């Protein structure tokens, strides 16, 4: 199979763009209530959380001083499941000490990435660290990692769209799709 071909295909829409946007608005309101009058460093985990984070921060009102940053980690590569080994590829540019950090992640699969990032950020002495995750797959969880703001709980299915990808494909789709192996 050439590098341009793909072993997977889109199967069905699991979450529509409308449902996603409604939930993102609800999450933004929750975050705004908690951080009203405060500064937060909203830190997206690249690349998957970029679209979710952009929509989320645009819905947080002016009563919150929102700063944006990014961190890039790797645990999947071109695989459809996490390798379980997490490494920082790009660290955030903002100094985290005595700051309110909101980590934004596209999906919590095993929980290993958020647990790892939680340890990293706690060592940096922030004022607070909270997590906002679009999708949680509780059946895949390997470590008990708390989610402060959760979009949706989904079954253990392979999904793409709205920032999630398979080997760089399908991030641009506005809906979240179930993906299956081609036969």
Integer CA distances (angstroms), 182 to 27, 100, 175, 176, in order:
35, 44, 20, 18
Print the SS3 string covering 132-181. EEEEECHHHCCCCCCCCEEEEECCCCCEEECCECECCECCCCCCEEEEEE
Looking at 91, 109, 139, 175, which residue is catalytic?
Answer: 109
Q: What DSSP character marks residue 57?
A: H
| 81: phi then psi, degrees, rounded to nearest 5 | -130, 155
Could you confirm whether 69 is annotated as catalytic?
Answer: no
Structure tokens at 24: 């993102």
> 């500064």: which residue's tokens?
39
Catalytic residues: 109
């Amino acid at each position: 199979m050439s590098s341009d071909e793909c072993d997977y295909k889109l199967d069905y829409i699991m979450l529509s763009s409308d449902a996603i946007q409604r939930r993102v608005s609800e999450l933004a309101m929750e975050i705004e209530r908690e951080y009203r009058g405060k500064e937060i460093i909203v830190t997206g985990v690249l690349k998957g959380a970029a679209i979710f984070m952009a929509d989320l921060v645009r819905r947080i009102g002016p009563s919150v001083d929102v700063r944006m940053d990014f961190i890039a980690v790797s645990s999947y590569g071109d695989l459809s499941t996490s390798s379980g080994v997490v490494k920082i590829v790009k660290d955030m540019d903002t100094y985290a000490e005595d700051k309110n950090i909101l980590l934004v992640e596209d999906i919590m699969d095993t929980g290993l990435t958020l647990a790892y990032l939680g340890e990293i950020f706690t060592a940096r002495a922030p004022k607070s660290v909270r997590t906002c995750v679009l999708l949680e797959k509780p059946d895949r969880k390997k470590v008990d990692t708390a989610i402060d703001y959760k979009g949706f709980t989904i079954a253990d299915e392979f999904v793409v769209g709205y920032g999630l990808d398979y080997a760089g494909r399908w991030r641009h789709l506005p809906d979240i799709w179930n993906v299956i192996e081609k036969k």
